[in-house]
Amino acid sequence: MPFSAQPPASGERYALSASLDNARHLSSLLRAVHFQDHATCLATASGLRVTVEDAKCIQANAFIQAEIFQEFSIQEESVMFRISLSVLLDCLTIFGTSSLPGTSTALRMCYRGYGYPLMLFLEEGGVVTVCKINTQEPDELLDFDFCSTKVVNKIILQSEGLREAFAELDMTSDVLQITMSPDKPYFRLSTFGNAGSAHLDYPRDSDLMEAFHCSQTQTNRYKISLLKPSTKALALSCKVSIRTDAQGFLSLQYMIRNEDGQICFVEYYCCPDENITEAEL
């Protein structure tokens, strides 16, 4: 439903202005990275990237490319600000979170520039809400220096096979141990909880395995509390790629198809846990 109310006054230049017919295309993705209150937004000509970090160990990025928007115009090379993700999500879902077919909230987003608040115009069924969210100085973001050339092991799995596993992870375990290997057990997720250990093995010839490129046996442990929020992204996605580099840094990339069939990506980067002890088998 085309958004017609409150167009920006002529003569005003907005550093960023974008329109989206269905705000859910943005809100569902943002929810997949919502494990901290604040996020850093970076807008470039390619689209919007929203980054959330925690404990200097984990970083999640939600990418909404420009093509998803009905209108996406940016006057500067890049625009970056820090904003309360909780408030942003509350505003985007101000008309409620239930997704009734046929109804959707239309969104217009405007940002005048450095120091200005982010303006949101939301409309559903003729009712308009205007939100003004303060922006802050963006933080320095972690650079995991994770590039495809440094990847040691990579697998691509259908998300369906991992969803239940992640939802049922033994949270009494401090760590999630990931083993990737060209030999058995190929791909293994392990937890070491109060009652004992649990291992989830995925063979390389499983129907769920879309790609299997493991050159070296690697076993790395990650703090389970940091990875657990990625379950939301997993739930939305249809495929996930799991990659590790020589230092054990983990990259999880989720391919998400929205209601209109468009593809978006969410990725999580995680440092290995420093207290490495002998894995209990």
Partner 1 sequence: LSRIGDELYLEPTESGLSLRAVNSSRSAFASFLFAPLFFQLYEPGSAGPDTELFRCKVHMKPLLGVFRSLPSLEKSVWKCLILLKPRASRLVLQLHCKYGVTKTHNLAFQECERLQAVFDTQRCASRLCVTARVLAEAVVHFPPTLAEVTLGTGPGGKISLRNYVEDEAEPSKTMVTELWLAEDEFQSVAVAPGSHITFCLKEFRGLLSFAEASNLPLTIHFDEPGRPVIFTLDDTVLEVHLVLATLSDLQSNSQSPSTNGVSHLPAPSDDFADDLESYMAAMETSEGCSEGPPSPTFPLHTPRPAKSKPEEEEEEEEEEGAVPGTPPPKKFRSLFFGSVMTPGRPGPATAQEVLAEDSDGE
Using rule CB under 8 A, residue 278 touches partner 1: no
User: Rounded to the nearest whole angstrom, what is the least distance from the CB of residue 219 to partner 1 in the complex?
Assistant: 16
Stretch that binds partner 1, among 19-27, 50-58, 192-200, 214-222 (CB under 8 A): 192-200
Residues 207-226, one symbol each (x = binds partner 1 by CB under 8 A, - = not), give xx------------------
Residues 146-185, one symbol each (x = binds partner 1 by CB under 8 A, - = not), give ---------------x--xx--x-x---------------
Question: Toward partner 1, which CB reaches closer, 13 or 184?
Answer: 184
User: Rounded to the nearest whole angstrom, what is the least distance from the CB of residue 179 to partner 1 in the complex?
Assistant: 13
Using rule CB under 8 A, residue 203 touches partner 1: yes
Using rule CB under 8 A, residue 205 touches partner 1: yes
Question: Toward partner 1, which CB reaches closer, 194 or 277?
Answer: 194
Long-range Cβ contacts of 19-22 (<8 Å, 24+ apart)? 19/69, 19/70, 19/71, 19/72, 19/106, 19/107, 19/108, 19/109, 20/68, 20/69, 20/70, 20/106, 20/107, 20/108, 20/109, 21/70, 21/104, 21/106, 22/104, 22/105, 22/106, 22/259, 22/260
Q: Which amino acid is at 228?
A: K
User: Rounded to the nearest whole angstrom, what is the least distance from the CB of residue 244 to partner 1 in the complex?
Assistant: 20
User: Rounded to the nearest whole angstrom, what is the least distance from the CB of residue 273 to partner 1 in the complex?
Assistant: 21
Reported as type and span, the H/E element at residue 24 is: helix 24-31
> What is the binding site for partner 1 (CB under 8 A)?
161, 164-165, 168, 170, 193-203, 205-208
